[in-house]
Amino acid sequence: MPSVLDQIIDGVRDDLSGREAVTSLERLQRQCDGMPAPRDAEALLRRPGLSVIAEVKRASPSKGALSDIPDPAALASAYAEGGATAISVLTEERRFGGSLADLDAVRAAVDVPVLRKDFMVSEYQIWEARAHGADIILLIVAALDDRRLAELMALAGTLGMTCLVEVHDEAEATRAVDLGATVIGVNNRNLKTLDVDIDTFARLAPLIPPSCVRVAESGVRGPEEAALFARAGADAILVGEALVVGGDPVDGVRSMIDAAARR
C-alpha cells in the first residue's frame, strides 16, 4: 500500500510532466539569466531570536481545506509586517491547493526571502522555483535517495538558493548532516502516516550540529509551542495552519516571536 507521501509524489510527477510539456527547461534557464541574486535566507535565519517562516497554505492532506486565501500577496505582506523572516508558499496543487501563481504573487509583494514549498524530485523544479523568484527550496529526505538529494542540493547551491532539508527520524537526520545540509527542518508530522508528535523535534535536535540552522515544522499551534521549540533548540519555526486560520496573521507571527523571546 503506497504511503501518503508516495501518493503525493506520484501526483507531483504527473503535474510536472504537464508543465515540462509547456515550458522547456531551456526557457526556464533563460528566465533565470539576469535575475537578481537570491536573498541570503540562511544568514537571516541565523540572526538572534526565533525566526518564523510563515506559510501561505490553503489546504493539507490531513485537515483538508483550511482557508480560501483569495489574496496571497496580502497575507504574505501581513506576515512580513508581523516580523516573519521568510514566507513559505505551497505550490503543490492536488493536496495543498497551491500554485506557482501564488508564488509569483507573494514574490511581488514582499522583500523577505520566499520558500517554494513543494515535493522536489527533479532539477526542473529547482530552475522553476528560481525562475518564479524563490530564494529557498524544500528538499524532503524521505522522498529522495542520497545521490538525488546531493544532486539537488548542489544545483540549488549553484543558483545561490538556500535548501531547507526536511527530516522526520534519526536516520534521515543523520543522512542530511552527512550530506552537508546546513539548514535542517525537523517535521513533527510523519508524512507517511500524517500523525504529529511534537516531541520529534526535541528528540532529533541533538543529532543536528549547532552549526546548522534548526527549523521545527508542524505542530506549532500558537505562542506556547513556539516557546517550547525555542527551548528545545530551534532557530526557526515553520507555521502554516495556525496562522491561516487564526484570523490575525500580523499578531499571530508577532506573538510567537515574543513568546520565544520570553522563554
Instruction: Round to whole Å and give the CA distance between 126 and 166.
Output: 16
Instruction: Round to whole Å and give the CA distance between 213 and 229.
Output: 13
**Residue whose cell numbers read 492536488:** 94
Q: List the catalytic residue out of 187, 188, 190, 225.
A: 187
Cell output for 218: 508542524
Between the two ends of the chain, the Cα-to-Cα distance in Å is 43
Q: List the catalytic residue out of 42, 92, 172, 217.
A: 217
- Residue 166 is among the residues annotated as catalytic for this protein: yes
User: What single-letter DSSP state applies at residue 160?
Assistant: T
- Residue 170 is among the residues annotated as catalytic for this protein: no
- Residue 187 is among the residues annotated as catalytic for this protein: yes
Q: List the catalytic residue out of 42, 60, 92, 117.
A: 117
Q: List the catalytic residue out of 42, 55, 92, 241.
A: 55
- Residue 188 is among the residues annotated as catalytic for this protein: no
Q: List the catalytic residue out of 88, 218, 225, 241.
A: 218
Contact partners, residue 1, CB within 8 Å, separation at least 6: none
Q: List the catalytic residue out of 42, 166, 172, 225.
A: 166
- Residue 63 is among the residues annotated as catalytic for this protein: no
Q: List the catalytic residue out of 57, 60, 88, 225.
A: 57
Alpha helices in 117-217, H assignment, sequence order? 123-131, 146-158, 170-178, 200-204
- Residue 55 is among the residues annotated as catalytic for this protein: yes
Q: Could you list the active site residues?
A: 55, 57, 117, 166, 187, 217-218
